[in-house]
Structure 1
Amino acid sequence: MGDYANLPGVRTWYETEGSGDPLVLLHGGFCTNDTWGAQRPDLAAAYRLHLPERRAHGHTPDVGGPLTYTDMAGDTVAYLESVVGGPAHLAGWSDGGVVALLTALARPDLVRRLVLIGVNFRPAAEAFVAPEMLDAMTPDSDDMAFFRELYAAVSPDGPEHWPAVATRMIDMWRTQPALDAGDLAAVRAPTLVMTGDDDLMTLEHTADLYRALPDARLAVVPGASHLVPLEKPAEVNRMILEHLAGGEVETTMPVLRARTPATPGRGATA
C-alpha cells in the first residue's frame, strides 16, 4: 500500500506492509522501493515494513537546491516521528545506508538496530574501488539507462527533470558523506555491516567502517557485488533477520569484542 506523507522537508511517498515491530527500508541512490523486491516477503513476515522514497527519488518529488545526505537524514527523522511514530530498525542499502548512519547519529533515540549494505562513510574518491567511474557518469550515458528508466516511470517531476537530479546526485557523491572514525564511534545502535566481495566500496573501507562502529558485525558475501540483496537474497534476508532478532555476540576467542563496552570505537586498543 502506498501513500504520501506531508513531511516538513518534502511530500514523501511511502509504502507499508507486514506487521510487528517497525523496520524502515532505505533504498539506494537513483533507486525506488522496487529494488527491495527480493527482501520484502521475508522481512514483512516478521516486521511492519516502512519503505519511504527519498526526495528526488521514485514517486517523491525534487525540492530544488543541492542534494545532501544530511537533508535526507532529516527527512527520515521526520518520517520516523510522524509516520512510524517512534523508534524503528533501519536497513539501508548504498545511499540508503549513509542516510541510516546519519539518522542514527542525529537521533539515536529513534534507531534500534542498523543494517548497512554496501555503504561508504567517506566520498567516492576515498571509498570506491574505481572512483573514476563518476567521470563517465552523465545523465544520458549508457551506464545510467537503468536508472533513467526507473525515474521516468514514476517521478512526479517527469522524465525531463532527470538531468537535474542525476547531475546533483553525482556531485553529492564527489564530496559526501564526510564522516570519520570519531563520528562513527558515536553510533549507539547495534549494526550489521554487509558487503559483496566485489562491491563498489573497497573491502578496506568497509573494514574501517566495521572497526570504527562500537557494536558491529561484519558480513562479506562471496560471489556478490554492490547488488548483493538481488544476487543473494536468501543469505541477505537470513542475516538481516538474525541481526534484528537481537542477542549478544558470543565467540570462543574474541579479539575486537574482548575490549570493555566503555572503550569507544571498534578499532581502539584493548
Structure 2
Amino acid sequence: MSYAEVGGLRLWHEEHGTGRPLLLLHGGFGAVEMFSAILPALAARRRVIAVDLQGHGRTADVDRPLRYESMADDVAALIDHLGLTEADVLGYSLGGGVALRTAIQHPAVVRRLVVVSAPYRREGWYPGVLAGMPDPDEAAGERMRGTPSHELYSRIAPRPGDWSRLWVKTGELLRRDYDWSAEVAALTVPTLLVFADADSVSTTHMVEFFGLLGGGHRDAGWDGTDRPASRLAVLPGLTHYDIVDSPALPAAVLPFLTHPVSPPG
C-alpha cells in the first residue's frame, strides 16, 4: 500500500494477491473499499492493484478538472511506474469510463479490458439517471454529508474538508456530454462488458456497445470460431448499485481474463 507520483498527483494504490496484474478502478465518490466484497475472489487468482482515483479516497485532489481522459493518463502512468509492460484493467461506473479511456488512449498497456456498468456515451444512461446526476455546487455536497460515501471519505481522505470540492468537480464531469463511439469501434483490446439486468444503463445501449466491439453481428459457428474477441455479460437480479458486491461479477470476469479469446476480425 503506497503512493505513486504520477500525473502531478500522489496516486494511492494497494496490492493484493499474486499473478498477472489486474487494476481495479472504483466508481464515483468511492475508493478501493468499493471492491471489498469481491477482492478476495479476484486476489486468489490475480495480482490485484486497486487504485484511488484523483480526489477520491486516499488520493488528494490537485488543481485540474476531473476528466476521464486525464484520469486514464494517470492509470497508464501507474502501470509504467510499477514497471509493467501491460495489465488487465477493470473499472466500475465512473471507473469504467476511466478504464475505457485508458484502453482508447493507451492500448499498448491494456491487455484486457473490463467495463462494468458504464456507457460509451452519456446518453447511454437512462433519462431519469441523467436528470439525477449530481449538481456541480458545494451546497449539493453539503447535503450528502453523513452518507456512507461521505463517512468513508471523512475517514480516509488526506483532506476531509475537500468533500464539497469533490462533489462540485464530479458533478461537473458527469454533466459533460461525450460520445466515444468511433474510438470504441476502433478498439482492438479484448473487452468484457458487464451490466446488471436492472442497471442504470439502458439495455439498448448495452447491445449497441457490444455491437461497436464486434459482437452480436453473426453466429459464432458450431465450434465457436467466429466468436468475437469481446464479450457481453448481463447479470440477473442485480442493479447498478449492488453489482460490484455480487459474487456473480468475479465469476463472469475471471474466465474472460484467463481463457483464450479470438483475435479481432
* TM-score bin, normalised by smaller chain: 0.7 to 0.9
Listed one character per residue, the Cα deviations across residues 78-109 of structure 1 (whole Å, up to 9, x for unaligned) are: 00111252200111111111111111111111
Matches within 5 A, 1:95-134: 95-123=94-122, 125-130=123-128, 131-134=130-133
Structure 1 residue identity aligned to 2:30? C
Structure 1 residue identity aligned to 2:202? T
The residue that corresponds to 1:219 in the other structure is: 233
The residue that corresponds to 2:154 in the other structure is: 152
The residue that corresponds to 2:256 in the other structure is: 243
CA distance in 2, matches of 1:136, 1:107: 31
Quick one: structure 1 residues 129 and 48, their matched pair in 2 at CA, closer, same or farther if it must change by over 3 Å?
A: same
Structure 2 residue identity aligned to 1:173? L
The residue that corresponds to 1:86 in the other structure is: 85
Deviation at residue 231 of structure 1 after TM alignment: 4.5
Determine if contact 1:91/1:115 at 8 Å carries over to the other structure.
yes
Percent identity between the aligned chains? 31
Determine if contact 2:54/2:61 at 8 Å carries over to the other structure.
yes
The residue that corresponds to 2:29 in the other structure is: 30
Determine if contact 1:221/1:228 at 8 Å carries over to the other structure.
no
Q: State the secondary structure of the residue aligned to 1:113.
A: strand
Q: State the secondary structure of the residue aligned to 2:66.
A: coil
CA distance in 2, matches of 1:163, 1:181: 32
The residue that corresponds to 1:205 in the other structure is: 205
Are 1:179 and 2:164 matched, yes or no? no
CA distance in 2, matches of 1:122, 1:227: 20
CA distance in 1, matches of 2:115, 2:64: 27
Determine if contact 1:198/1:223 at 8 Å carries over to the other structure.
yes
The unaligned stretches of length 5 or more in structure 2 are: 215-228
Deviation at residue 236 of structure 1 after TM alignment: 1.1
Deviation at residue 127 of structure 1 after TM alignment: 2.2
Moved more, 131-140 or 24-33: 131-140
Deviation at residue 144 of structure 1 after TM alignment: 7.9
Quick one: structure 1 residues 7 and 65, their matched pair in 2 at CA, closer, same or farther if it must change by over 3 Å?
A: closer
Structure-1-length-normalised TM-score: 0.85
Structure 1 residue identity aligned to 2:43? A
Structure 1 residue identity aligned to 2:151? E
The residue that corresponds to 1:43 in the other structure is: 42
The residue that corresponds to 1:257 in the other structure is: none
CA distance in 1, matches of 2:211, 2:11: 34
Determine if contact 1:129/1:201 at 8 Å carries over to the other structure.
no
Quick one: structure 1 residues 145 and 81, their matched pair in 2 at CA, closer, same or farther if it must change by over 3 Å?
A: same
Deviation at residue 65 of structure 1 after TM alignment: 3.0
The residue that corresponds to 1:267 in the other structure is: none
CA distance in 1, matches of 2:37, 2:134: 31
Determine if contact 2:72/2:101 at 8 Å carries over to the other structure.
yes
Are 1:166 and 2:167 matched, yes or no? yes
Deviation at residue 191 of structure 1 after TM alignment: 1.0
CA distance in 2, matches of 1:108, 1:51: 20
Q: State the secondary structure of the residue aligned to 1:166.
A: helix
Q: State the secondary structure of the residue aligned to 1:114.
A: strand
Quick one: structure 1 residues 166 and 88, their matched pair in 2 at CA, closer, same or farther if it must change by over 3 Å?
A: same
Listed one character per residue, the Cα deviations across residues 18-60 of structure 1 (whole Å, up to 9, x for unaligned) are: 1111111111111010110112111111111111111100000
Structure 1 residue identity aligned to 2:89? L
The unaligned stretches of length 5 or more in structure 1 are: 250-259, 263-270
